Amino acid sequence: MSTPAAAVRATSAAARKEARLEHRRQRLLSSALELFAERGYEETSVGAIVAHARMSKSAFYEHFTSKEHCFREVLMVEGGELIQDVLTTAARGHNHHERLRLGITRFVVACFERSTVARLLIVESVGLSASVDRVRHEVQGRFAEAVGEEVRHAMLHDAFYADKDPAVFGRAVVGAVNEAVSYFLTHPGADAESLAASLCRIFAP
Amino acid sequence: MSTPAAAVRATSAAARKEARLEHRRQRLLSSALELFAERGYEETSVGAIVAHARMSKSAFYEHFTSKEHCFREVLMVEGGELIQDVLTTAARGHNHHERLRLGITRFVVACFERSTVARLLIVESVGLSASVDRVRHEVQGRFAEAVGEEVRHAMLHDAFYADKDPAVFGRAVVGAVNEAVSYFLTHPGADAESLAASLCRIFAP
DNA sequence: TCAGACCGGTACTCGCGAGTACCAATGCGT
DNA sequence: ACGCATTGGTACTCGCGAGTACCGGTCTGA
């Protein structure tokens, strides 16, 4: 250790550096998100990512061990935030029906709003590699399990859910929403609100 | 034209050649199916496909203009057969409920039976390229539209379907079944029949 | 002010695989 | 039976991009 004054200076320098590094990391992540979403994983080179972020390859490999690691990180952070958003919104509902409706609606709307993240989560991350698959399953699984849990409680007093398998229901909702979103995102003129309403009528009538 | 006899000989020779070619094509398609399913598209090289089929690259490029073309072809043929199977089985039902149940059940069971085809249709073909996406959408769309059509008729006299949007319902079923199958295919110990039954309870109660 | 550590950028290597060109063997018609 | 055409196999090219090594500039600390 040095003198207190030096320590303070050192700390603030380290802190600035930390902030700087974090800022760069964010730039890389957001560039990666954008390019992966619009071109796809295979068609996006590390060179393109760093060029878009106006950085060098060495900066990239300071933060990520490989291109795939970068993709996983993007998926985890952005996908995680999206799902978190959905879950907190859903939690505001006062009963099972309302929570399911809020969750499904928020998911659909969020996918339309952040279509780049949605594309990553629903399309680009499928079938890349086992580890990427794990991340996707984990992220989407959080939503699926929340739905399942809701059903597990609802089935006790709601005839509609009485005969449903919670786990299957959760996965079915996730799959249905994904498919609907990906289909209607490519079909122009689709409206998030009405799509969400149609889905709610199926799963939370 | 030559003499009749020569013509006959020529025809039979041509026919044999045709048959031979078709046989080779089948070998290539089935090798491609197997490898694409177990390793994925990117990880499967043309070299590996022809080695597995005990042929040469030139034979491959006689039938397909590119690796992607080959993939599309496999997807179209095998996926098409699977969907056809589902649709004809479903058509045996005597009312909307029964047809929906038969269709969903057959789809799930067929995916478990032909897990290689299922993997291609549900996982590997996602997000590869625009043209592959078109093929997948077309194939799965046949099922989605059949479901939608069934709903469109059922809603006239069945309260359950009265408020559903047929197009969205069709897509939702496809997505839900895909997700459920892909999830429970990787989770060992899953049973096709009971999974199908759970899904039927959701979409055709 | 100066020496050194460290950061970032550039330029390189290396492997891989799609697609191609050329050659050998087989089978066809005459 | 013989020569020619066609088929099928092999060996090559070519481009691309992930990951790396090294070097020049800058900022820190004494």
- The pLDDT of residue B12 is 54
Nearest 10 degrees: Cα torsion A61, A65, A68, A70: -60
pLDDT of B7 reads 43
Tokens of A37: 């979403």
pLDDT at residue B186, rounded to an integer = 85
**Residues of A (21-40) whose Cβ lies below 8 Å from B:** 40
Is the Cα torsion angle B158, B161, B167, B169 positive or negative in sign?
negative
Q: What is the C-alpha R_g of chain A?
A: 21
Q: Which amino acid appears at position A64 of this protein?
A: F
pLDDT of residue A7: 44
- Per-residue model confidence (pLDDT) at position A64: 95
Ranges in chain B, pLDDT < 50: 1-11
**How far is the CA of A173 from the CAs of A101, A111, A204, B14, B138, in angstroms?**
11, 15, 10, 54, 22
Pick from A29, A200, A193, A30: which is nearest to A112 by CA?
A193
Query: How many CA atoms are closer than 13 Å to the CA of A10, on its beta-carbon side?
Result: 7
Q: What is the Cα–Cα distance from B79 to A17, expressed in whole angstroms?
A: 54
The single-letter DSSP state of residue B157 is T
How far apart are alpha carbons B51 and B13 in whole angstroms? 28
Nearest CA-CA distance, residue A174 and chain B, Å: 7
CA of A66 to C1' of C26 (A): 50
CA pair distance B37, B116, nearest whole angstrom? 5
Confidence at residue B6, expressed as pLDDT on a 0 to 100 scale = 41
Nearest to B189, CA basis, from A170, A122, A44, A167: A167
pLDDT in the model for residue A184: 81
- Residue A190: per-residue pLDDT: 85
**C-alpha pair distances (Å), B159 with each of A194, A205, B155, B165, B204:** 20, 12, 7, 13, 12
What confidence score (pLDDT) does residue B4 get? Answer: 43
Return the closest-CA partner of residue B64 out of A124, B55, B14: B55
Contact B119, B37 (CB under 8 A): yes
CA–CA–CA angle A63, A69, A71 (5° rounding): 105
The pLDDT value given to residue B79 = 97
Cβ count near A77 (within 10 Å)? 14
Q: What is the pLDDT along chain A (205 residues), one digit of tens a residue?
A: 333 444 444 445 556 666 777 888 999 999 999 999 999 999 999 999 999 999 999 999 999 999 999 999 999 999 999 999 999 999 999 999 999 999 999 999 999 999 999 999 999 999 999 999 999 999 999 999 999 999 999 999 999 999 999 999 999 999 999 999 998 888 888 899 999 999 999 999 8
pLDDT on residue A12? 55
Q: Is any atom of nucleic acid chain D found less than 7 Å from the CB of residue A11?
A: no
Q: What is the largest CA-CA distance in chain B?
A: 71
Radius of gyration of chain B (CA): 21
Measured CA to CA, the distance from residue B15 to residue B13 in angstroms comes to: 5
Dmax (CA) of chain A? 72
> Rounded to an integer, what distance in angstroms lies between the CA atom of residue B86 and that of residue B71?
22
By the CB < 8 Å criterion, does A165 face chain B?
yes
Scan residues 38-77 of chain A and list those with Cβ within 7 Å of strand C.
55-59, 62
The answer to whether B88 touches B143, Cβ cutoff 8 Å, is no
**Beta-carbon contacts of residue B145 (< 8 Å; ≥ 6 apart):** B170
Distances (CA, A) of A46 to A32, B40, B43: 9, 22, 19
Q: Which nucleotide is nearest to B21 (CA to C1')?
A: D7
Decide: helix, strand or coil at residue A163: coil
Contact with chain B for residue A192, Cβ under 8 A: no
Distance A68 CA to C16 C1' (A): 18
- The span from the CA of A69 to the CA of A178, in Å, is 24
Q: How many CB atoms lie within 10 A of CB B88?
A: 12
